[in-house]
Amino acid sequence: MSEHILNDISHRRFNQLRGSWVLVSPHRNKRPWQGMQETPKKITLPEHDPECYLCPGNNRAQGQPNPKYDRTFVFVNDYSAVKEEQEEYHPEQKDKSLASRLLRAEAVTGKCYVITFSPSHHLTLADMSPAEILPIIETWTNLYTAHLSPKSPLAQIAAASTVPPLGQDDIDKPNAQYRYMQIFENKGTTMGCSNPHPHGQIWTTTSLPEEPGLELEQLKKYRREQGGAHLLVDYAEIESKEKERTVFENRSFWAGVPYWAVWPFEIMIVSKQHKRALVDFNDKERDELAETIAEITRRYDNLFETQFPYSMGLHQAPLEGTAEEIESSHFHIHFYPPLLRSASVRKYQVGYEMLAEPQRDITPEQAAERLRTCAGELYRKNL
């Protein structure tokens, strides 16, 4: 019964996945809002835009022609954040100097891809059926497999995969073994997306990035301390029983607002069984992952009847790592959306959030309840 008090009082919640805290202030929802309101976009896009760099048959930003693809399409990013070839950097050894103690840098190489989700310019994941999302998951799996270290315990499983091949001959093998692959999507101009054509990105790097690195440390720690148990398996079991933060679930996946969520309508999709990476899934599990993504993205758009912006990303086992790192990893997806009160009022992580710790107003339980009511047909199909 005492847990219900948290709906009315300020309190902190511990993020088991990052080892950090978030401040929850539910009473602040009553404050009047006179700040910035962003105008919802009510734009109708064509199925094919002759000016779009990502549409089939068009030329990209640097002049390369796109094929007339009919499913997903992958290419090396024309403006990659990291590159395979660059000048080598070897920091000078300045033993016992202040500079060597305090000023550190390391070179990072890698390969960045763009993946279009559909040939149709006007669609988003929310518009797509599970069957239309499945080829995206298969493409993610193919690219992960292509970059996986042959020394990884996952390599043998990947070799026996039933995923259809990518079907593109123009994707070269990486020229080095990379450490990590980050698959993500930024949806909407609010999240910095520069092109409305449905697409995501894949960055592979020689380094293990900060966020998955923090999570991996917590996953390893929990497994060591709990006799081999997996943090997110146990967490999904609790959430599936309690239901109050659940938005959608099927046999293979739990999807809901995490107990420690920072963003107002943040969602985490978690595999209920211990699955380390995309290559661990069978055909049925890939189907159910597609179903889960479709359910979450459609509910997002239905919530405020708008093209709901978010950043979404997959966290899974490193491409190359120790046996402990691989086995401790657990597949999950984060959705970080900024909208708070309506299609035009967003949450800003500023002030206290930047200088002290993250803070949220609406509780995760209240957010999950609102999203649960947004099932059904996509709102704009009736417009």
Residue 69: both structure tokens together? 């693809």
**Residues linked to residue 114 through DSSP beta bridges, in sequence order:** 75, 201
For residue 330, say whether it is annotated as part of any ligand binding site.
Answer: no
Average pLDDT (354-383) is 93
Question: 374 a known binding residue?
Answer: no
pLDDT in tens, 37-65: 445 555 688 999 999 999 999 999 889 99
Told to judge if 199 belongs to the known catalytic residues of this protein, a careful annotator would answer yes
**What mean pLDDT comes out for the span 24-40?**
61
The pair of three-digit structure tokens given for residue 24, joined into one six-digit string: 């929850």
For residue range 287-325, list pLDDT tens digits in order: 999 999 999 999 999 998 988 889 999 999 999 999 999
From CA 100, how far away is CA 80, in angstroms rounded?
A: 30
Q: In this predicted structure, what is the pLDDT of residue 349?
A: 84
Mean pLDDT in residue range 90-102: 80
Task: Give the helix/strand (H/E) hosting 315.
Answer: strand 310-315
Which pLDDT does position 191 carry in this prediction? Answer: 73
Residues 6+ apart with CB under 8 A from 45: 121, 122, 196
pLDDT on residue 345: 74
Residue 30 — pLDDT band, cuts 50, 70, 90?
A: low
Structural domains in the chain, sorted by start = 50-83+106-374 (3.30.428.10)
350: how many CB neighbours lie within 10 A of its CB?
8
Torsion angle of alpha carbons 190, 297, 22, 316, nearest 10°? -100
Mean pLDDT score, 181-194:
86
> Can you tell me whether residue 181 is helix, strand or coil?
strand
The share of the chain scoring above pLDDT 90, in percent, equals 74
The average pLDDT across 116-132 equals: 97
What pLDDT, on the 0 to 100 scale, is given for residue 42?
Answer: 59
Three-class SS of residue 44?
coil
**Per-residue H/E/C for 216-243:** HHHHHHHHHHCCCCCHHHHHHHHHHHHC
The confidence band for 231, taking pLDDT boundaries of 50, 70 and 90, is: very high
Residue 121 known to bind ligand: yes
pLDDT at 97 over 50: yes
CA dist 279 and 140 (Å) reads 10
Catalytic residue among 48, 90, 122, 199: 199
Residue 94: per-residue pLDDT: 67
Q: Is 197 annotated as a binding residue?
A: yes
- Provide mean pLDDT across the span 364-369: 95
Q: Per-residue b/e over 270-296, b at no fewer than 16 CB within 10 Å?
A: bbbeebbbbbbbeeebbbbbbbbbbbb
Q: CB–CB of 204/103 below 8 Å?
A: no
Q: Does 27 belong to an annotated binding site?
A: no
Contacts of 42 (CB under 8 A, 6+ apart): none
Distance of CA 57 to the CA centre of its chain: 29
Q: Are strands 339-342 and 246-249 parallel, antiparallel or unpaired?
A: unpaired
Residue 143 reports pLDDT greater than 90: yes
Quickly state the pLDDT bin for 27 (edges 50, 70, 90): confident
215 is in an annotated binding site: yes
State the pLDDT at residue 173: 82
